[in-house]
Structure 1
Amino acid sequence: MITIYDWFGYEVSIKDRYKLIKEAGFDGVLLWWSDGFGRGADYREGVQHVINAGLMIENMHTPVQNQNNLSLDNIDGENVFECYSECIKDCAEVKIPTMVVHLPNDNFPITELGMERIKRITEKAERLGINIAMENLSNVNNIACVLNSINSKQIGFCYDSCHHANNENAGDLLAKYEKRLMALHLHDNGGARGQHQLPLDGNIDWPTVMRKIAETGYKGATALEPMNWGYEDLSIQEFLCKAYEKAKTLEKLRFE
């Protein structure tokens, strides 16, 4: 199964976006669950358009703008908790099995209050049967803190290939969290921004990455998270076709 992050650029209607993703060969999508980054207030309406296009929803990405406030003892910290709690409810209502979360960067260590909020979030996720996958960025110490402290089948890890490649001190995250892997974000570290390029267009050692993913026993989709940064000369159809072919190559590396 091959999936792709849905908000990868281009001005096109939501209905046509998912239709084109399906026509390119993809089986499903990862939804951006926020009105941020130009997504617009109609993001919830995307769910029905995904279904109408014949795609599955693998997971949704929670808002990221205020992630570093998680441990603050004020309204900003409580708002982050409420945001994640609301996303769990949304997942249950529209039948999205997993949500991806950015924990605070490591220069904002999770405090006792922050951990208490995460435990309350975990309790709600367990009650509603929703998975929460913590994505690696500049936050590997905070991820370790959470995953070492909370032993819940609903709390796990989202592996981001480019963020890992760009963090030389992160260690072998796939080996460390192999049994808790819940989601993948596969993109390369080429281009002017050093991230969100199509796989095989940057410097990541993809044979090694895909072998390590296979060794975890992970059964989920081969999931891409590219942007069209640096590919603006391609039409959306050309970009999606190129992305799908890259994903097929990763599938071959992963399973063969």
Structure 2
Amino acid sequence: MISIYDWFGYELPIGERYKLIKEAGFDGVLLWWSEDFGRGYYRNGPQIAREAGLFIENIHAPIQNQHDLWLDNLNGEALTDCYLKCIEDCANFEIPTMVVHLPDEDHLHNALGLDRIKRIADRAEQLNVNVALENLWNLTNLAYMLEQVDSLHIGFCYDSGHHYRYYPDKDLLSLYGSRLMAVHLHDDNGSYAQHGLPFDGTLDWSTIMRRIVEVNYPGPISIEVMNWDYTSLMPKQFLHEAYKRAKRLEALCKTE
């Protein structure tokens, strides 16, 4: 199974977007779960994607206020409530997993933040939804929460581009692969040293895919690529190229 982040660039009506994704060969999509970045009314996404023949692998919770999660104020409570509502949305829309950004290294975890993650874990357990904490420049917070919250519904979203941008010397998949619930695969050749097509940058994909196989990850090969450095390609061309790269990643899994 192969999936792609649904908002891969280009201004396209959502129905056409999902049609092109399906025609390129993808089985599923990762959904951004807010109106941010010009997405519009995002709650129609699951139905439109499924009508196009795509499965919904996960949703990505909003990120704009991610650092509020540790704050003892109304903003912190509002963000916690937002994440709890996203879990409820996953249950209502029959989406198995939500991906979340924790605050970064400039915002160190605290007791209130741990309590909030435990509240999130409780709601996830009640509704049988997985919450995958994504690696960015946040390893201190990520490691702490994975160590302190012992729940089968709190796990790890591995992002290859973020890994090698921020912590290239850390073997994140060996450290946290047993909690792996989602992957975001992309290369480091993009404008922001990330979100390029696999095999266009410097990442060692043979090693990355071997690590994913070693931890027995059962989920799809999921790429989170953007067209930022491929603007000469039409949407259909970009998606077909993205699918070919994803198939190469899948082939690496089968040879390991």
Amino acid at match of 2:200: D
TM-score for both structures, normalised by structure 1: 0.98
Aligned equivalents of 1:94 and 1:192: distance in 2? Answer: 34
Aligned counterparts of 2:245 and 2:22: Cα–Cα separation in 1: 16
How big is each residue's C-alpha offset from its partner over 1:197-218, in whole Å with a ceiling of 9 and x where there is no partner? 0111111011111111111100
Does the aligned pair in 2 maintain the 1:190–1:202 contact within 8 Å? Answer: yes
Instruction: Report the aligned-residue RMSD.
Output: 0.9
Match in the other structure for 2:36: 36
Correspondence for 1:94 = 93
Paired amino acid for 1:108? H
TM-score normalised to structure 2 length: 0.98
The residue number in structure 2 matching 1:225 is: 224
Any stretches of 5+ residues in structure 2 without a counterpart? none
Pairing of 1:1-256 with structure 2 (within 5 A): 1-40=1-40, 42-168=41-167, 171-256=170-255
1:168 positional shift: 3.2
For 1:140 and 1:169, the matched residues in 2 are separated by: 12
Provide the rounded CA distance (Å) in 2 between the counterparts of 1:29 and 1:187: 15
- Cα displacement string for residues 148-193 of structure 1 (whole angstroms, at most 9, x for unaligned residues): 0011100000000010011236611100112110000000010332
Moved over 4 A (4+): none
The superposition leaves residues 131-153 of structure 1 with CA deviations (integer Å, 9 ceiling, x where unpaired) of 00000000011011100001110
Supply the distance in 2 between the matched residues of 1:29 and 1:192 (Cα, whole angstroms): 23
Task: Please tell me whether the aligned partners of residues 159 and 183 of structure 1 are also in contact (alpha carbons under 8 angstroms).
Answer: yes
Letter in structure 2 aligned against 1:97: P
* Distance verdict in 2 for CA 1:115–1:170, change over 3 Å: farther
Q: Cα 1:170–1:156, aligned 2, differ >3 Å: closer, same or farther?
A: farther
Which amino acid letter does the alignment assign opposite residue 27 of structure 2? D
Query: How many pairs are equivalent?
Result: 255
What SS does structure 2 have at the residue aligned with 1:166?
Answer: helix
Q: CA deviation at 1:56?
A: 0.3
3-state SS in 2 of match to 1:104: coil
